[in-house]
Structure 1
Amino acid sequence: MDIFSTPFMQRALIAAVLVGITAPAIGIYLVQRRQSLMGDGIGHVAMTGVGLGFLLSASPVWTATAVAIAGAVVMELIRWYGKTRGDIALAMLFYGGMAGGVLLINLAPSGSNANLSSYLFGSLSTVSQQDVTAIVILAALVVLVTVGLRRQLFAVSQDEEFARVTGLPVRALNLLVAVTAAVTVTVAMRVVGLLLVSALMVVPVAAAQQVSRSFTVTFVLAVAIGTAVTLAGTVTSYQYDVPPGATIVLLAIGFFVVTTLLAAPLARRRSRAGHSAQRAAEGAATAADPVKV
């Protein structure tokens, strides 16, 4: 097929697979922590890193990674110490990141404005070999953290107080989740775009949760859905010349709708089975009781 013989599509497909794996892999912990919009906030902050890369004629992927990590650390510190004014501080951080990115890009050499849209919404033709190298390195780090420390991260995401009692370094693990989310945003921005990456971190996880109650099964299903929609979206974008980020997100939402429709009858069957088991247990208990005269 022509799609596999074109060098830029080969790079785009490699990036798409890695994005499909990493985004749901960290997204499941964000959903568990009720921080589904954290990726969106980091995406706004990472714009400053992209602008800095253009201004310094450096790789925007690496500068965006550095700025996104710094922003994620600040976000986590605000969550710890911000208290009632934390939401205002976060809002200023998000909007400041976007404004800083726009300003730096306008100060950069001419032509940078045209490239900005590829970082905001994703682009297949602009994924370079240098980008692929950076994405592979960063994606490996994300997978190493999300899989290697899954038990600890799950415990912290599920119940911080219980995790603290068991002796886990809760603050260090929370900070690790934030930093890993920042790295994931920069991994995904070349394919999905900074403004849409949060959806790929959340929607596949939400879709998997419709049909699974197990964390491990949900994790595997979310990664499978993420990989499927990024590959399908990339191929569709190439064949029909449509934006890859928007296509991928819409496919992910379609998966969520399908799994939601499938989950409804499954939930009813589970409910009926539960009621039947309860009635059988009550009947057995009644039969076991002696008859009183």
Structure 2
Amino acid sequence: MTLFELEFMQRALIAGLLTGLSAPAIGTYLVQRRLALMGDGIGHIAITGVALGLLTGTAPVLTAILVAVVGASAIELIRARGKTSGDVALSLLFYGGIAGGVLLIGLAGQGAATLNTYLFGSLTTVSPSDLYVVVGLAVVVLVVAVGLGPQLFAVCQDEEFARVTGLRVQLLNLLIAVMAAVTVTVAMRTVGLLLVSALMVVPVATAQQLTRSFRSTFVTACGIGVLVCLAGIITSYNANVAPGATIVVLALACFVAAAAAGALVRRRRAVQAPLADEEPEVGVPGPEPHVVTDEHEHAHGQKCGHTKVEHGDHVDYVHDGHLHAAHGDHWDEH
């Protein structure tokens, strides 16, 4: 029997596909708002939800959704209305979530093995009912992330401008927080609660190395998320290792490769198309255009007597009221 004929692997691959799409989709907005660690905080809060489900005998996925949504909403409200800053609010719920989860797991009489399936993901425990929940939640996240893209981007980019244009900023911020909570529970079975934030952030950071616009970053991040999720699930099955860790390691490897490729491309672009003179600010006279001097008999040096001006990786010399800069076999005058 091949890998794709196993029913639990079919469910895991479907869940991984949807996770790879939904996590970077909402993660793009979190990164834009500089709340990259919000997914990590919500993941710790969801641990309490899982433990509550095990304690009460209800579905841990459903209780994790409810607790994560409440926690994410609390983070956003504290950030927006309270005197506590966003990172402090995340820290408070971060510690409270994991402490409450461990405490309730102990009261439920469950061991560490049960908790590990939710913390680090488990391929074999994705049941048909879990898959239905994952599919439904992932579709909701994707519809909201794509359908309300312009409004969500406006809020993430500049809240004051969005408020002036008539957008309901507080409601949209809460929507982003709730969608992040839902995404965490979507990825709970494949990536795990402790590593879900990486899947929400790393593909976005990778895409930013290669793209210039928000839309292209969004699409590229989702593509990278799907690629690393499916590859990580297949690799973890063959190597008999944790799927969540495998997915995150592959995502980080993609980031390293993209960062190297992006630096190379940017360096090549800079060589082929040097930057033009910047536009002057209002009321400030612009710089004179560069002029190549055809004849320049004087050779500037350490003892030439002209004033030196350090300029990045070279030295300019003040000569006859102009700056002279060495450029190959001639001097630029500007």
TM (norm. structure 1) is: 0.92
Cα distance in 1 for partners of 2:183, 2:221 equals 15
Gaps of 5+ in 1: 284-293
Which residue of the partner structure matches residue 229 of structure 2? 230
1:86 deviates by: 5.8
Which residue of the partner structure matches residue 48 of structure 2? 48
Match runs of 1:107-146 below 5 Å:
107-108=107-108, 110-111=109-110, 113-146=112-145
Cα distance in 2 for partners of 1:158, 1:45 equals 27
**Which AA in structure 2 matches 1:209?**
Q
Instruction: Judging by fraction of residues, say which structure has more strand.
Output: 2
Which residue of the partner structure matches residue 286 of structure 2? none
User: C-alpha offsets along residues 159-204 of structure 1, whole Å, 9 cap, x if unaligned?
Assistant: 1111111111111100000000000000001100000000000000
Which structure has more relative contact order (CA 8 Å, sep 6+)? It is 1
Cα distance in 2 for partners of 1:59, 1:17 equals 23
1:81 deviates by: 2.2
Asked whether the 8 Å contact 1:54–1:112 carries over to 2, the reply is: no
SS in 2 for 1:275: coil
Asked whether the 8 Å contact 1:25–1:146 carries over to 2, the reply is: yes
Cα distance in 2 for partners of 1:201, 1:45 equals 16
**Which AA in structure 1 matches 2:222?**
V
Cα distance in 2 for partners of 1:101, 1:277 equals 57
Which residue of the partner structure matches residue 203 of structure 1? 202
Asked whether the 8 Å contact 1:188–1:194 carries over to 2, the reply is: yes
Asked whether the 8 Å contact 1:39–1:198 carries over to 2, the reply is: yes
SS in 2 for 1:192: coil
1:271 deviates by: 2.3
Match runs of 1:64-143 below 5 Å:
64-84=64-84, 87-108=87-108, 110-111=109-110, 113-143=112-142
Asked whether the 8 Å contact 1:78–1:90 carries over to 2, the reply is: no
Cα distance change, pair 87–224 in 1 and its aligned pair in 2 (3 A): closer
TM (norm. structure 2) is: 0.81
Cα distance in 2 for partners of 1:6, 1:241 equals 15
Cα distance in 2 for partners of 1:224, 1:88 equals 33
Cα distance change, pair 186–264 in 1 and its aligned pair in 2 (3 A): same
Which residue of the partner structure matches residue 24 of structure 2? 24
**Which AA in structure 2 matches 1:59?**
A
User: C-alpha offsets along residues 212-262 of structure 1, whole Å, 9 cap, x if unaligned?
Assistant: 011111111100000000000000000010110000000000000000010
Instruction: Judging by fraction of residues, say which structure has more helix.
Output: 1
SS in 2 for 1:83: coil
**Which AA in structure 1 matches 2:244?**
G
Aligned length: 282
Cα distance in 1 for partners of 2:210, 2:86 equals 35
Match runs of 1:143-222 below 5 Å:
143-222=142-221
Match runs of 1:251-290 below 5 Å:
251-275=250-274
Cα distance change, pair 138–276 in 1 and its aligned pair in 2 (3 A): closer
Cα distance in 2 for partners of 1:76, 1:83 equals 12
Cα distance change, pair 164–127 in 1 and its aligned pair in 2 (3 A): same
**Which AA in structure 1 matches 2:149?**
R
CA RMSD of aligned residues (A): 2.0
Cα distance in 1 for partners of 2:224, 2:85 equals 37
1:113 deviates by: 3.6
**Which AA in structure 1 matches 2:218?**
F
**Which AA in structure 2 matches 1:74?**
A
Report the structure number with the largest CA radius of gyration: 2
Asked whether the 8 Å contact 1:106–1:113 carries over to 2, the reply is: no
1:92 deviates by: 2.5
Cα distance in 2 for partners of 1:83, 1:48 equals 26
Runs of 4+ in 1 over 4 A off after TM superposition: 84-89, 276-279
**Which AA in structure 1 matches 2:194?**
L
Asked whether the 8 Å contact 2:8–2:123 carries over to 1, the reply is: yes
Cα distance in 1 for partners of 2:242, 2:174 equals 33
